[in-house]
């Protein structure tokens, strides 16, 4: 989905669900990972997470847009636009917007586990960070450590 298509979609949803036009900008943010979108109070523009523009997330995208438009319309009308405000919660439920952004796997970070073994006693060590083999020794016998392998896990 392109910028122009996204703007048209936001304007359509605003008229259909809220009965009011959306007159500000919509921007695509490619760096968002933990949120689906953002409403800016200062200049009233919306930022949408670029990952949700794929066709398979279309229903999630519509729910996210409704969420941000709820902030937008309530803020401009002087009502409670924050998540904790009753006005926000009621209007969000009426229009069918998403309360939370669905997790599509962007928040998960892979960790590399480094596996070491003592060359003297055979004691095994698993570490998240690399160990300086010239500086550190085995805690059991004082023997020299050797890197076996490094595994990538979730």
Active site residues: 68
8 Å CB contact between 80 and 88:
yes
Strands 46-49 and 26-29: parallel
Cα–Cα dist 102/83, whole Å? 17
| Cα radius of gyration (the chain) | 25
Cα–Cα dist 141/121, whole Å? 7
Backbone angles phi, psi at 4, to 5 degrees: -65, -40
Q: Which residue has the tokens 């979609």?
A: 9
8 Å CB contact between 74 and 81:
yes
Cα–Cα dist 102/118, whole Å? 44
């Amino acid at each position: 989905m392109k910028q122009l298509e996204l703007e048209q979609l936001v304007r359509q949803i605003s008229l259909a669900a809220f009965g009011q036009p959306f007159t500000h900008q919509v921007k695509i943010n490619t760096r968002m990972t933990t949120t689906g979108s953002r409403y800016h109070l200062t200049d009233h523009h919306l930022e949408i997470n670029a990952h949700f523009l794929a066709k398979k997330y279309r229903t999630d995208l519509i729910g996210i847009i409704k969420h941000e438009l709820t902030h937008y319309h309530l803020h401009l009308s002087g009502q409670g636009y924050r998540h904790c405000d009753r006005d926000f919660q009621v209007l969000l439920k009426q229009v069918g917007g998403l309360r939370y952004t669905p997790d599509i796997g962007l928040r998960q970070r892979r960790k590399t586990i480094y596996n070491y073994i003592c060359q003297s006693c055979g004691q095994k060590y698993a570490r998240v960070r690399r160990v300086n083999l010239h500086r550190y020794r085995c805690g059991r016998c004082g023997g020299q450590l050797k890197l076996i392998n490094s595994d990538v896990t979730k």
